[in-house]
Each structure stands twice: as structure tokens, then as C-alpha cells.
Amino acid sequence: MNDFNVRVTEKDDISILYVEGFLDAHTVSAFESSILKLVKDKKYKIVVNMQKLEYISSAGLGVFMGFIEEIREQGGDIKLTNLSDKVFRVFELIGFPTLFDILPDEEEAITKFNAI
């Protein structure tokens, strides 16, 4: 069994999601629920730290695509950080780097949010 885990912490008005393990069509509902809860709570500044994400399929990518427009309309963003080469390659194949803010680390994402 390939497990997936997501943990959320707050830094001021920024929510940081630490995702870990394998994000596929089976585990995606846990990730989707976490993002949905943030949106319902009107927390639109979101950083997803992927340092411990070992695998992502299109099911996981679809969650970003499903929420990003609504979040940006509310003045927020989903910033992606700490991607491994393997995970970045999947994002690249889909064309995500032109549409999403992909940054080397969490601190840089927080700095960018605070600069707005």
C-alpha cells in the first residue's frame, strides 16, 4: 500500500500544506478535502510543500486545476515548493510551470505572498 498524508500549518494568513507519499486517484480525496476546507474557511494564500511527495498522477494535478481559478479570483494563490526532480517532470509534461508559481522552497513562497 502506498500511503499519502497531508498536514496543514498556518503562518499568519498563509496556510502551508505538507504533502507526503503517493498522490494518486485513490489518495486524492484526502488532498482535495484539505484544499476544500481552506477555501471554505476563506484561506486563499496556500503553499504546498512537496518535499516528501514521492509520486503524483494526473488525479493530483487535477485538484490544483480545479481550485486555482477560484482562489486567484479571491486574491490568493497556490504556490508549489520543494518539488523533487521526479515530481517536477510530471508538472512539466502537463505544462504547469507556465500557469503555476513553482518555487524552490517554502520561505520564498511566504516572502512572495507577504510582498503583495
Partner 1 sequence: MPVKKTKKYTLSVPGVTNNLATIRAFIRRIALKGGFTEDDTEEIELAVDEACTNAMKHAYRFNKEQSIDLEVALDSRKITIQISDRGLGFEADQIKPPDLKKSIMEGKPGGLGIHLMRSLMDEVRFRMNPGKKNTVTLIKYRSQYPS
88 binds partner 1 (CB under 8 A): no
Listed in order, strand segments (DSSP E) in the chain are 4-11, 14-23, 45-56, 77-81, 101-103
Residue 69, Cβ density class (10 Å: 0-12 exposed, 13-18 middle, ≥19 buried): exposed
Q: How far is the CB of 31 from partner 1 (least distance, A)?
A: 14
Q: Helix axis angle, 58-73 relative to 85-94, nearest 10°?
A: 70
Task: Name the 3-class secondary structure at 74.
Answer: coil
Binding partner 1 by CB under 8 A: which of 8, 20, 39, 57? 57
Binding partner 1 by CB under 8 A: which of 86, 105, 107, 111? 86
DSSP state, residue 13: T
Binding partner 1 by CB under 8 A: which of 13, 99, 104, 114? 99
68 binds partner 1 (CB under 8 A): yes
Residues in binding contact with partner 1, number by CB under 8 A? 26
Binding partner 1 by CB under 8 A: which of 8, 59, 101, 108? 59
Q: Rounded to the nearest 5°, which phi and psi values hold at 57?
A: -115, 180
State the residues that interact with partner 1 by CB under 8 A. 1-2, 22, 24-26, 55, 57-59, 61-62, 65-70, 86, 90, 93-96, 98-99
